Amino acid sequence: MRQKALFQLPLTYQVSDNYRTKLLMKISSFLSDNPTLADGIQQALTQGKINTGARGITAEQIMRISILRSLEEFTYDDLVFHLNENMTYRAFCFFGIADKIPSRSSLAALLKQISAEVIETLNTIVVGTDAAVKLDSGKEVRTDCTVVEANIHEPSDSSLLYDLIRVTLRTLKRSGYRKYSNRSKAAKRRLNEIRSCRGKKKRLKHYKALLNIACETIGYAATALENPETLTKGFAEKIALLILKGQIVISQTERRVINGEKVPATEKLVSIFETHADVIVKDNRDTFYGHKICLTAGKSTLVFDCTVLEGNPADSTLAVDMIKRLQEKYGIVPEKAAMDGGFASKENLKKLKKHGVREACFSKKRGMKTEDMCSSKKVYRKLWKFRAGVEGIISWLKRSFSLDKCPWRSFSSFKSYVWSGILSANLITICKSLL
């Protein structure tokens, strides 16, 4: 007989029969079967610290929370909400029904302590497990580069100057220093005039006015720094850093706008918030602001290795290094390697052959013969098609793990974010094969 209402709620919950839930539970079982994965997390959280307070959540739980965040592309607010409300997620992260979930700020602080090197080590262990080796031995690999953008707006000289002015004034206000004139409204007017005016002479006039306001604001910051006793504790370092950034932004604006000089990308500052971001021009068409990453994947879509690069080095300088890294990490030498045309050069081909790669295919020949790269045209054609699959892997990482743009700040966090996505992708690839 159907009851009107439940008089007592059940104390247990039933795991659903949904495919997504099954996959998550399979990943959970895989992590439990490899307990050494939590060792690196434990060391990162306890190194040099004596914890005499509350026990807190375990290193394994933090690892699982990090993986869950990347798998589901959660923000920290979403992460806290779903851990409180979703029983499957609670079970995955080993939280009981009555266990309290840490706050948003606590989770953010914990996850930020896990460095990129630790996550990279976890990925090496995961790819080296028996299940992964059975899926992909690493004898055939494909390498390509892509760009992960930093979370910044499209930079321009005027917007950088305005950002510098408003952030410096805001920092001075919070520091307790009061001997300055707030010129943020005047700076905003100059910014809008630069954006809307026509004619080089008029624009140059407004740029000079904006530069004067920026120099005046940095002058206030320098005066405040001369009297650190007037500042609230901890603000002297922030103001000193803003002065350094301001000098760079003002200098590059004067060189570009006033003097008409071409400033090399390596000397440009494209954001006062994400100073690590590089200017990357791809195929002489699109310009990105972030970092180039170089991926090496296998035939099963497992990503064996990744490097997050500083600057914009040519692909041709990376080919041999990626093979060397595979040897160092896994002790394997790929028999076949397929790479994009940017990696192609006769020197790279010689070095790859010297390192033990029998069949090396570049999508563009660059003056090389097919017979020099591969044993036959059939093998070359097969590897040429095989290489194209890495584009799909890159697309999957960007769509499903948000590796198109990194929302985390600082270069170390940028690398951690990229490696978190790659680790989660590899866990899905391995555990799908075990279902």
pLDDT band per the 50, 70, 90 thresholds, residue 335: very high
**pLDDT tens string 266-277:** 889 999 999 999
Q: How confident is the model at residue 47 (pLDDT cuts 50, 70, 90)?
A: confident
Q: Are 146 and 391 in contact (CB under 8 A)?
A: no
Residue 13: pLDDT band (50, 70, 90) is: low
Q: Which domains does the chain have, with CATH numbers?
A: 19-47+55-114 (no CATH), 117-123+134-152+286-413 (3.30.420), 157-267 (no CATH)
Please list, in sequence order, all residues whose beta carbon lies within 8 angstroms of the beta carbon of residue 116, skipping any fewer than 6 positions away: 308, 412, 415, 416, 418, 419
pLDDT at 92: 92
Q: What is the pLDDT of residue 395?
A: 95
Q: What is the mean pLDDT of the chain?
A: 90
Q: What is the pLDDT of residue 50?
A: 54
Radius of gyration of the chain (CA): 26
The number of angstroms, rounded, from the C-alpha of 157 to the middle of its chain's C-alpha atoms is: 25
pLDDT exceeds cutoff 90 at 48: no
What confidence score (pLDDT) does residue 43 get? 85
Note the pTM of the prediction, 2 decimals: 0.91
- H-helix or E-strand containing 23? helix 19-33
Strands 405-406, 336-339: parallel, antiparallel or unpaired by DSSP?
A: unpaired
Tokens 């799909």: give the residue.
Answer: 392
User: Do residues 96 and 57 make contact, with C-beta atoms less than 8 angstroms apart?
Assistant: no
Give the range among 41-50, 183-192, 398-407 with minimum mean pLDDT.
41-50
At residue 116, does pLDDT exceed 90?
yes
Residues 191-219 pLDDT 10s: 999 999 888 889 999 999 999 999 999 99
